[in-house]
Amino acid sequence: MIIETERLRLRPLTLDDAPWVKEFMSDPRIAASLPAVPYPLTDEAVDEWIRGAMRDVTFAIERPEDGAVGGVVGIHLEEGNRGQIGCWCGEKYRRQGYFEEVAPAIVRYGYEELGLRVVYALRNGRVLIADRDVSDRRFPFRYDPDGWEIVEQTVSGPGRLRRAWSRLARRPQPAS
C-alpha cells in the first residue's frame, strides 16, 4: 500500500531500508523515544526493529521527486481494535512539516482502511485522540482529559498504559 500526500509518499518499510534506519536511529533523540531499541545500535538490532515494525503498519516517509527518505510513521496495532501513531524523522528532515502532512493520511488509513475504533498518539505523557473526521489542513489530534480512559476502555487492568508510559519516561537517555 502506497499513500500519497501533497509532497510525500508513504511506502511500506522493508529490510532494504536498514542502512538509513540505522543512521537515523543512531541519533540520540530518536533512540531516546524508542524504548525497545538498544543503544548503541547494532545491525542485528536494526533488522529486529524493522521486522517488528513490519508486523504493525509502518511506512517510510519518502520525497517522490528525489527518493530521499526522511523518516518513519506507523500505527502500532493494539488489542481493542485501536492503534497508536508514532513518527520520527532524521535530523535534516525535522521542522519541515512532515508529520503535520502525513498525520491526516495515516489517521485516515487507520480509521477507513484498517477499521480501527480509536487512533491516538502519546505526547509528553498525554493521550491525543485522533478525530474520525480528518481534514488535510489540520492536525488531526486533540487533547482529551479523559484520553487515558478512552484508550483503556478495552484493556484489561486499569492503568496499564499509564504504567507503560511511566516506564518509558524513566528509561535512561543516551548521551548526546
Say whether pLDDT at 133 is over 90: no
Q: Please give the average per-residue pLDDT across 121-131, as a whole number.
A: 77
Question: Does the residue 104 lie in any domain?
Answer: yes
In this prediction, residue 35 carries a pLDDT of 66
- Give the domain CATH number at 78: 3.40.630.30
Taking only the tens place, the pLDDT of each residue in 29-70 is 777 777 667 767 788 888 888 888 888 899 999 999 998 888
For residue 65, with 0-12 CB atoms within 10 Å meaning exposed, 13-18 middle and 19 or more buried, which class applies?
exposed
Question: Does the residue 175 lie in any domain?
Answer: no
Cα separation, 120 vs 106, in Å, equals 11
59/163: higher pLDDT: 59
Question: Does the residue 176 lie in any domain?
Answer: no
- Which amino acid does the sequence have at 106? I
Which range of residues forms the domain containing residue 121?
Answer: 3-170
Question: Does the residue 87 lie in any domain?
Answer: yes
State the pTM of this model. 0.76
Cα separation, 165 vs 123, in Å, equals 10
Q: Into how many domains does the chain fold?
A: 1
